[in-house]
Structure 1
Amino acid sequence: MCGRYYVDDETAREIEKIVRQLDRKLLIKGEIYPGQKASVIARKKGEAVLRQMEWGYPAPQNKGLVINARSESALQKRMFSESVMNRRCLIPAGWFYEWDRDKNKITFKPEGRQGMFLAGFWKYFSEGNRFIILTTNANASVRSVHDRMPLILDEERSRAWLEDEKMYGQLLGLKPDIRLEKEGFMQESLPL
């Protein structure tokens, strides 16, 4: 699962590898939470552009937000399939967080890189565009903390995710081979 991530100044440099003309006014920096507006890369008239969207689809029966979708089953889910096929996006992030069993906040950063692209998709709702982050089985870097992680794409695969109408199905089955550094923790709750 991915329930929070961070965008910093270095993330803008990564975005410029995909988006030719970056409008920095659209870049939302800081810690990004579900329900918050965030910067995503989507296609518009054949070009990759930075847009602002809200994180999470409204859940059925108004029970909160759906913020993640399993990459291995997203195409089979009625709620997601049309968006995955037609409205894929990239979520730029400097790092993401997971919480361990003791509710410690663990930071995961790409080793030797300034940022990363998380695979996602979006949909238009009456109140605006909203996106979801795809998750996959955790790799060795994350597995000791959580069994799921975001579907992370390198620059080449990121372009294919946005542009290639045939390749996206293969990318959904990708097991991220990126090495992630696990950094310290911040206790979010006090022991009882």
Structure 2
Amino acid sequence: MLPASWYYEWGYPVYEEDSRSMLEHRNTKKIKYAIQTEGSDITYIAGLYRYEDHGDMKVPMFSILTREAAGIIKDIHDRMPVILDKNSLQDWIRPDGDPFSITEMALTNMVFEKAVEYHRSPTEFITA
């Protein structure tokens, strides 16, 4: 499980009076959206991880699980992460938990907005 404030997705613009299908959107320039669970500051994204040896270090490697888009997300993209409810987190991390029943209860009540781009020089973060 990966806690996040938002996740980002490149999607097609959404207009009030837009009756185009997802296929018709393919000719539209995508924009970046910030997406989070409605009514929460934390979005819990289902994922799997393992540690790999890289030289003399153990490095965590992870994958985010996705599903067919649901709710308002299907208006901008065809896939979305599996979003866990806060009450199912303990079940998700239990070794004997049932991931299929947990993912069936995945949340779809999301909100999104156009992401704000912060253009900064890479050297702004370097301190002497």
After superposition, the Cα gap between the structure-2 partners of 1:139 and 1:147, relative to the gap in structure 1 and judged at 3 Å, is same
Aligned to 1:159, what secondary structure does the other structure show? helix
Unaligned runs of 5+ in 2: 13-28, 118-128
1:153 aligns with 2:84: yes
1:100 aligns with 2:27: no
Q: What do the CA deviations read for 1:85-118 (whole angstroms, capped 9, x no partner)?
A: xxxxx10111111111422101112211111211
Matching residue within 39, 54, 59 for 1:112: 39
Query: Number of residues paired by the alignment?
Result: 97
Report the aligned-residue RMSD. 1.9
The structure with the largest alpha-carbon Rg is 2
Q: Distance in 1 between matches of 2:61 and 2:3?
A: 15
2:82/2:107 contact within 8 Å kept: no
Q: Distance in 2 between matches of 1:143 and 1:175?
A: 18
User: Corresponding residue for 1:80?
Assistant: none
User: 1 or 2 for the larger relative contact order (CA 8 Å, sep ≥6)?
Assistant: 2
Percent identity of equivalent pairs:
29
Cα offset, 1:133, TM superposition = 0.6
Q: What do the CA deviations read for 1:153-176 (whole angstroms, capped 9, x no partner)?
A: 01121110101514223224x263
Q: What do the CA deviations read for 1:22-63 (whole angstroms, capped 9, x no partner)?
A: xxxxxxxxxxxxxxxxxxxxxxxxxxxxxxxxxxxxxxxxxx
User: Which structure shows the bigger proportion of residues in strand conformation?
Assistant: 1
Unaligned runs of 5+ in 1: 1-89, 188-192
Q: TM-score, length-normalised on structure 2?
A: 0.67
Q: TM-score, length-normalised on structure 1?
A: 0.46
1:183 aligns with 2:94: no
Aligned to 2:73, what secondary structure does the other structure show? coil
Matching residue within 87, 99, 105 for 1:168: 99
1:121 aligns with 2:77: no
Cα offset, 1:148, TM superposition = 0.7
Structure-to-structure mapping, 1:19-58, within 5 angstroms: none
Cα offset, 1:125, TM superposition = 1.4
